Chains A and B, each alone.
Chain A
Amino acid sequence: MANSSVGQGTQVLLAERETTVEESLNEILSSYEGSEDQLIPILQQVQQVFGYLPELAMKKIAKFLKLPESTVFGVVTFYAQFKLIPTGRNIIRVCRGTACHVRGSAQILGEMEKQLGISASETTPDLEYSLETIACFGSCALAPVVVINNKVHGRMTATKVGEILNKGGQ
């Protein structure tokens, strides 16, 4: 995984993020009553704020919901949406649905990996880009599709990959 080999610069960036965890978390939790079915919505909201689920946050959530930490960790690791490692500022998601597959999404992914120098589900060391694959974005008419920070880029080609990355993903 990407952060097993993060450099010193990345460590500093991460430390900065950690300091804000505690205060933000208390604020988030105050809007929930604390029933078990709220676990997933809480995790989703926390991840939205931090970009991933810091260990400290998972422990606090477990305490708040009166659940064993292992249960929280079990749920987190079950669902593809939850991340235990920080994500980059820009999230690039390459659709690997059937329609995209038959229209060449494997090549698009390969080109992204080559240009960013990381594999799918990794983050660049400067925390600038995260590369993910998604099972289907439901925009099959525009296959192959790449989604960068919620902006959908349809009818992608390997040549367009460079153009989009040069524009900072916009």
Chain B
Amino acid sequence: MNFEEIKGQAALQWKAMQQSETPRILIGMGTCGRAAGAEDILDVLNQELAQQNIQADILQVGCIGLCYAEPLIEVIKPGMPGVFYGNLTPEIIPEIVKDYLISGNPRSELALGIRGEGTLDGIPNLFDLPVLKPQVRISLRNCGNIDPESIDHYIANGGYEGLAKALRMKPQEVIDEIKKSGLRGRGGAGFLTGVKWQFCRDAPGNIKYVICNADEGDPGAFMDRALLEGDPHAVIEGILIGAYAIGATEGYIYIRAEYPLAIQRLRIAIKQMEEYGLIGDDIMGSGFRFHIKVKEGAGAFVCGEETALMASIEGKRGMPRSRPPFPAQSGLWGDPTTINNVETWSNVSAIFPKGAEWYASYGTEKSKGTKNFSLAGKIVRTGLIEVPMGISLREIVYDIGGGIPEGKHLKAVQTGGPSGGFIPESLIDLPVDYESLAQAGSIMGSGGMVVIDDDTCMVDITKFFLNFTQAESCGKCIPCRWGTKQMLDILEDITSGRGRPGDIELLQELAESVKDGSLCGLGQTAPNPVLTSIRYFRDEYKAHIEEKRCPALACKALTSYYIAPEKCQGCMICLRSCPAGAIKGGKRVVHVIDQDKCTKCGTCLNVCPPRFSAVVKTSGEMPAISAEPVPVGSASESHGDQQ
């Protein structure tokens, strides 16, 4: 079968499914959906359909990005728009099946939104919801719409059309098209993709390689996982186009072993491509030859760095080497190599059918197109989002993310993981593009975006990142190996109440040296959390050092608990619950915490009845209260002036 025949067959199959008289139910079965309980929902759904004797096609799809609403299903009745139901429990499934599928009542109060042609009373269009309205789905175009294990679904939705178009062009024309689109690397650094390809194409050598960097190591980032799980072909099609452009016949996908589902989906996709002649010795009858292998990482963050990644593919310790020579000249086994990230490749496959101008119409002057972010942390609507470059942080946090939960306040947004920095609330109107984020001291990074509220201590979270980079430093160069360790030690001191005057300046000096002196991106960017937290939250550092106080009440060594004598009713609940036996007192006798015995576990605070709220967590100086229990009532007089 040639590609035209394959395409025709896939289109027929897709159309038959769309026009089928059988209802269709799409269920999100990405890692996040499964973790939220989608497998149980699927079981109950199957049971209920069997019990009610209803014929329905169930389609397991990838993540549509509404992670906060998982488990999630879309119910499509013939001739009707699809209805999304979120936050499902096994109990609610029989109701939806009976009420909507049998009786025709879509239960608008349970529905999240609809999509497709037509309307349903009382249910908004899904894409008009604040979470989706500002989003533009280019790289995630198929996620949540198609069965990621079906190549026919991908082809029926325009898949491999871009490859077909590219193969009709000359390789140089393909590179020119990518240059024209303005696409920049989505792995974080933002180098122009077309220019990178040009270097590799121009490099002398008979053997060339392309690599897909799927070693998504930033803690707090899951964009690439969701994309590979939801639409693996979009990534592989991009790789093929790149390989053709630079003249590579072999490629690798280097993926973290922690993503078993994504690995499985990639393997299935490659097998299907081989069956359709989309990978092999004569792709689409064009004479283009290409083969691809999936390589599993083995748990080393530094392997996200391109030279370390190549060493790892070669079977060596994943240690970076100095550049130049750049991989485009001397990469895998010394041959010219192009490495791009998962999201970059899926943008490539989106650009070809529609053209560079269309793509460049999104974004800002220097940052074209869209960017995926995983929005997580202290935010109402966590999820995977794709937004046009240049959107403001405010729109992302408040419109898409729905703001901060539990009435707390936004303190900062962390972008770029351990290589990035903190952007304070005062810069909330900052446009999200490569230049603006760099100016603020952070980086675009691969797309992790963690929202931080008042409860997070900026010194503690900086320590968290340094703990990570220090452990992941490969140890090859001294500035990174020792610099990260020294910075971590100082942060440890500060958060433990051992901070000394001059520590802030010492941290800054060290950070600048590590930045300048390190061999690879890991060390060069590891100081970013330190530098940005000092730049925007210097007062918090000072409170820790000068007053031995943690304003966020997060650093254990600097916090303590006491019982407000005027509020305590002597109910004995905390006294009995204290695992350390640190609470003295008795029935109707005000309780007192023995600070020497207290382990600061917080149990007393959790168990104290809200109507008393007598346990107080504090940092810095303790108020003067009696160390000995006194009868309830007597305390309120002596401490009455405190209220």
Contacts and interface: CB of A to CB of B under 8 A. Distances in A.
B54 to A, nearest CB: 30
A98 interface: yes
Given A79-B300, A141-B70, A102 B377 contact: yes
B36 A142 contact: yes
28 contacts: A40-B312, A41-B296, A75-B315, A79-B298, A80-B299, A80-B300, A98-B448, A99-B219, A100-B219, A101-B219, A102-B377, A102-B378, A102-B452, A102-B455, A134-B258, A135-B472, A136-B217, A136-B220, A137-B31, A138-B216, A138-B225, A138-B226, A140-B221, A141-B32, A142-B35, A143-B376, A152-B35, A154-B35
Interface string B203-242: 0000000000000111111100110000000000000000
Contact of A135 (B32, B456, B468): B468
Contacts of B32: 139, 141-142
Interface stretch (A10-18, A31-39, A84-92, A161-169): A31-39
B607 to A, nearest CB: 12
B317 interface: yes
B307 to A, nearest CB: 15
B31 A150 contact: no
B349 interface: no
A140 B374 CA distance: 8
Interface residues of A, number: 39
A44 interface: yes
Given A102-B456, A143-B376, A81 B299 contact: yes
A139 B222 contact: yes
Contacts of A35: 315
B382 interface: yes
Given A82-B298, A135-B301, A141-B376, A96 B219 contact: yes
B298 A40 contact: yes
A157 to B, nearest CB: 11
Nearest to A75: B317
Given A81-B297, A101-B464, A103-B378, 17 more contacts: A35-B315, A36-B314, A38-B315, A40-B315, A78-B300, A78-B319, A82-B298, A98-B220, A98-B414, A102-B452, A102-B455, A138-B222, A138-B225, A139-B31, A140-B67, A140-B221, A143-B377
Contacts of B452: 102
Contacts of A140: 67, 220-222, 374, 376-377, 382, 450
Contact of A36 (B220, B315, B383, B450): B315
Contacts of A103: 377-378
Contacts of B260: 150
A145 interface: yes
A65 to B, nearest CB: 8
Nearest to A152: B35
Contacts of A100: 219
Contacts of A134: 258
A141 B298 contact: no
Given A75-B317, A135-B468, A81 B298 contact: yes
Give the size range of B's interface with the partner: 35 or more
B258 A141 contact: no
A74 interface: yes
Interface of A: 35-41, 43-44, 74-75, 78-82, 96-103, 134-143, 145, 150, 152-154
Contacts of A141: 32, 36, 67-68, 70, 376, 382-383
A146 B42 CA distance: 22
B523 interface: no
A44 B315 contact: no
Find the residue from B219, B222, B465, B472 having the highest chain A CB count within 10 A. B219
Contacts of A154: 35-36
B74 to A, nearest CB: 18
Interface in B271-329: 295-301, 312-319
B34 interface: yes
Nearest to A101: B464
Interface string B577-590: 00000000000000
Contacts of A152: 31, 34-35
Contacts of A75: 315-317
Interface in B437-478: 448, 450, 452, 455-456, 461, 464-465, 468, 472, 474
Contacts of A101: 219, 461, 464
Nearest to A142: B35
Contacts of B226: 138
A23 B297 CA distance: 27
B298 A99 contact: no
Contacts of A41: 295-296
Contacts of B414: 98
B82 interface: no
A42 to B, nearest CB: 9
A136 B221 contact: yes
Interface in B365-401: 374, 376-378, 382-383
